[in-house]
Chains A and B, each alone.
Chain A
Amino acid sequence: MDGFTIAGRTFTSRLMVGTGKYPSLPVMRDALAASGAEIVTVAVRRVNLEAREESLLAYINLDKYFLLPNTAGCHTADEAVRTARLARAAGLSNWVKLEVIPDDGTLLPDPVATVEAAEILVNEGFVVLPYTTDDHTVARRLLDVGCATIMPFGSAIGTGQGLPNPERLRRIIELVDGRVPVVIDAGIGAPSDASLAMELGADAVLVNTAIAKATNPVQMARAMALGVQAGRFSYLAGRIPRTEVASPSSPETGLIAKESAPTTAKA
């Protein structure tokens, strides 16, 4: 079994899926099933006292999925710590996907505040999975304070721009060196992006918008699962190095035709 382990808990699906932005909760439920995900993320929000809203958890089988609350929407370390504590008080687990994102419209994380909040939460016994930039020094700081994963972005949340800087992610993966799982979170737009993330050696990817906003979310969830699997197999199998010079796949000897003819490459 090719699993990976976060804080002592082993998972076999390397695709984590978010639960936001689906056209409906039944579609979300079916997409989660099609994705094969074991870890699903949720947000923490005030109960709406004015209008009764359908319960998300009515559509998520907690025997089947491990719920990972996030601190999305938190602009400061203090807000994120408070939200994480509330999520834990809801009684599901002490895990939190830590996000500290300034209110500047970029949805890019505040790495300094993220490290600060991570340290507080780790000291309070949380299993902290921090959403971070693709900066390897920040990744090292997060490792130093005891985070359970490193979750660098591929590109900005919801952009679907994929992995424009794969070398930066590769550097983080090398730096972390298997001490904790590296999960590529955000920016993935298509299964090919998820494949690339896995080919780089990431342990898992987290996808929300690319599935939820696809024309057919359920089919895309399946496609994303296959993309992750293909990329993982490719990583394990060991891809060939890139070379400058072409080399034929077919034998260059034993050709019919004239002895004097020059050898032509490739067929």
Chain B
Amino acid sequence: MKITVNGKSLEVSANSTVQQLVEQLDLGHERIAVEHNQHILEPGDFATATIEEGDTLEIVRFVGGG
């Protein structure tokens, strides 16, 4: 199924969780934050948050800044 992650279209398998998406993107070891359909997830919720067709996710991390 198609979802949108960080403004880009992405293919994931049906019934994926956010945790699976994070691992698929190889971000398992990064300190990240995820917004799922405008709702910010606590890190503990990644495993139970299920992704559906057409969902929109934002995944952010820390970068250099002032």
Contacts and interface: CB of A to CB of B under 8 A. Distances in A.
Interface string A202-242: 00001011000000000000000000000000000000000
A101 B33 CA distance: 23
6 contacts: A18-B66, A43-B65, A45-B63, A52-B26, A86-B35, A86-B60
Interface string B25-58: 1110011111100001111000000000000001
Contacts of A18: 64-66
B66 A47 contact: no
Contacts of A45: 60-63
A255 interface: no
Interface residues of B, number: 27
Given A49-B8, A55-B30, A208-B66, A90 B61 contact: yes
B36 to A, nearest CB: 11
Contacts of B40: 85-86, 89
Interface of B: 5-8, 10, 25-27, 30-35, 40-43, 58-66
Given A46-B6, A86-B40, A56 B63 contact: yes
Given A48-B6, A86-B60, A89-B34, 8 more contacts: A21-B66, A42-B62, A47-B59, A70-B66, A89-B40, A89-B41, A90-B32, A157-B66
B66 A206 contact: yes
A28 interface: yes
Contacts of A208: 65-66
A88 to B, nearest CB: 8
Label chain B's interface by main secondary structure: strand
Nearest to A73: B65
A43 B41 contact: no
Interface residues of A, number: 39
Contacts of A89: 33-34, 40-43
Contacts of B8: 49-50
A57 interface: yes
